Structure 1
Amino acid sequence: MMTPLGARAERPVTVFAAASLKSALDELATAYAGPVQISYGGSSTLARQIQHGAPADLFISANTAWMDVLEQEGLIVTASRRTLLTNQLVLIAGPDVNGDLAIEPGFDLAGALGQNHLAMALVEAVPAGIYGAAALRSLGIWEQVTPSVAQTDNVRAALMLVALGEAPYGIVYATDAAASPEVRIVGTFPATSHPPIRYPAALVTGASLAPAQVFLDYLSTSEAAEVFRKHGFGLPEDGA
């Protein structure tokens, strides 16, 4: 027997979001009045899934480049696009790593690694990895550490390698470091050493636009801002 239309559950808003947003978005989705289903991953992976027709309503990327690609292909609603958040890039150490490193031009990260690995998201595809490689190049040590880099599909996987002690050091967002008590921040990379970290959000063309627009607007409220800030994100108006 068919379920009466009035009794059918509202279809969830399907969000494709950068993995670094997980802690904050999970909290916001729980507090939100309507159903939300969130798929997390590297921004590059999610963007390619949208290119291949994955049923996303809303895309939140960890950099502007992948959003630009989708916009150029007509796969997002341009008028809905906004910069939602900002972030910082940090060097983290695992639970068994002692000592400090000053992040400065030419600092001896390669020496600190020894025969061990530096955990990073994919350096040619995932925003956290792209930012991290740019920072290491800017500081003049990329060539020295490249042989030691262990690349992961997304930034949360890089965080996990360090948290589990499988890599002594890693490069992640400040918000990822805040989400794991097993790691500590060694230092923050200078903002001038990498492109600005911006999280654009936009509706996906052809999606269930009305519910998705309501959820996107909710993510721009003062209530959501409080949650994002609690998890370490900055907002565009902060001037970061």
Structure 2
Amino acid sequence: MLINRRRWLQSLTAGVMLAAAVLAPARAEDKPVLVFAAASLKNAVDELAAAYTKETGKTIQVSYAASSALAKQIEGGAPADIFISADLKWMAYLSGKGLTKKETERPLLGNELVLVASKDSTVTATIEKGFDLAALLGDGRLAMGEVSSVPAGVYGKASLTSLGVWDSVKDRLAQAENVRAALALVSRGEAPLGIVYATDARADPGVKVVGTFPADSHDPIVYPIALLDASTNPDAAAVLAFLESATARPVYEGQGFTVLDAPKTN
């Protein structure tokens, strides 16, 4: 009786181990692909992630934040598979540290920089050299991404400097951790004006565009994409291809992005 019990337990243990061995690869293959994406991409990438799941049955998990914050997280060992930055600087930062698969780096999207106010605001603006932004602010502050690291903030500061108005507003900023946070300050009425991307303004019915910054007043706004070197997810390359595909193009364009038909960055 004792021998039979031992044999039964041995058979059960062997069966459990066999099942685990069979299921382990399946679990690895079914692990969601983790995309780190600039906050301004949320609407477009959420839509694409849902479309990919509907088409393949597989999941894309997305983490949104400022490109600077995401790059630092990747540098710190965050297990992301794909990175989409809102500027070339932070992709180059990771590339220079050997943290991307260089052959997959390419510019994906373009955008515009705009000045927004709440939807009920009566403010109008002509954005040109020397325009009186300080007067437009009244007693309020200018919402924008953190100007030393968040791409939208960096572009915004560069544009205001080029137009000769930075000094008049540099002490009147409401700096945010990412561009969507800056957008929210305007949408909620906590700041009278903000500098965001055109795509962000389109995504929030609580704001309206009161002016577009001249393209030559800041560096071109380019969103590069790449696989990350530490990625071992077998589905990552397929997700990258989907995010770059003709299927994705109308989704990006529907959100106001320009799709860049450009060669890879490396």
Bin the TM-score by the shorter chain.
Answer: over 0.9
Contact 1:13 1:208 in 2 (8 A): no
Contact 2:66 2:178 in 1 (8 A): yes
Question: Secondary structure at 1:98's aligned position in 2?
Answer: coil
* Aligned counterpart, 2:192: 168
Matches within 5 A, 1:42-191: 42-191=66-215
Contact 1:16 1:58 in 2 (8 A): yes
Structure 1 runs of 4+ aligned residues shifted over 6 Å read none
Q: TM-score, normalised by structure 2?
A: 0.86
* Aligned counterpart, 1:18: 38
Matches within 5 A, 1:2-41: 4-5=22-23, 8=27, 10-32=30-52, 33=56, 34-41=58-65
Q: Deviations over 1:94-120 (max 9, x none)?
A: 134203110011111101112201100
CA distance in 1: counterparts of 2:106 and 2:51, whole angstroms: 22
Name stretches of at least 5 consecutive residues in structure 1 with no aligned partner.
none
How far 1:221 sits from its partner (Å)? 1.1
Task: Determine which of 211, 222, 238 is the counterpart of 2:235.
Answer: 211
Contact 1:96 1:165 in 2 (8 A): no
Question: Secondary structure at 1:185's aligned position in 2?
Answer: strand
CA distance in 1: counterparts of 2:145 and 2:232, whole angstroms: 31
- Indicate the larger mover: 229-238 or 44-53: 229-238
Contact 1:19 1:155 in 2 (8 A): yes
CA RMSD in angstroms comes to 1.5
Question: Secondary structure at 1:237's aligned position in 2?
Answer: coil
How far 1:147 sits from its partner (Å)? 1.2
Q: Count matched residues.
A: 238
Amino acid at match of 2:91: M
Contact 1:119 1:152 in 2 (8 A): yes
Percent identity between the two aligned chains? 52
Amino acid at match of 1:20: S
CA distance in 2: counterparts of 1:51 and 1:224, whole angstroms: 28
CA distance in 2: counterparts of 1:72 and 1:123, whole angstroms: 23
How far 1:51 sits from its partner (Å)? 0.6
Amino acid at match of 1:16: F
CA distance in 2: counterparts of 1:114 and 1:173, whole angstroms: 23
Contact 2:107 2:225 in 1 (8 A): yes
Matches within 5 A, 1:228-239: 228-237=252-261
Q: Deviations over 1:120-159 (max 9, x none)?
A: 0010001000000000001000000111110000000000
Q: Deviations over 1:73-105 (max 9, x none)?
A: 000000011111110000001134203110011
Q: Deviations over 1:27-81 (max 9, x none)?
A: 0000002211000000000000011101110000000001101111000000011
CA distance in 1: counterparts of 2:245 and 2:26, whole angstroms: 30
CA distance in 2: counterparts of 1:96 and 1:24, whole angstroms: 26
CA distance in 2: counterparts of 1:62 and 1:157, whole angstroms: 15
Contact 2:33 2:233 in 1 (8 A): no
How far 1:222 sits from its partner (Å)? 1.2
How far 1:209 sits from its partner (Å)? 5.0
Amino acid at match of 1:26: D
CA distance in 2: counterparts of 1:196 and 1:7, whole angstroms: 43
Amino acid at match of 2:68: S
Name the CA shift for 1:7/1:201 in 2 (closer, same or farther; >3 Å): closer
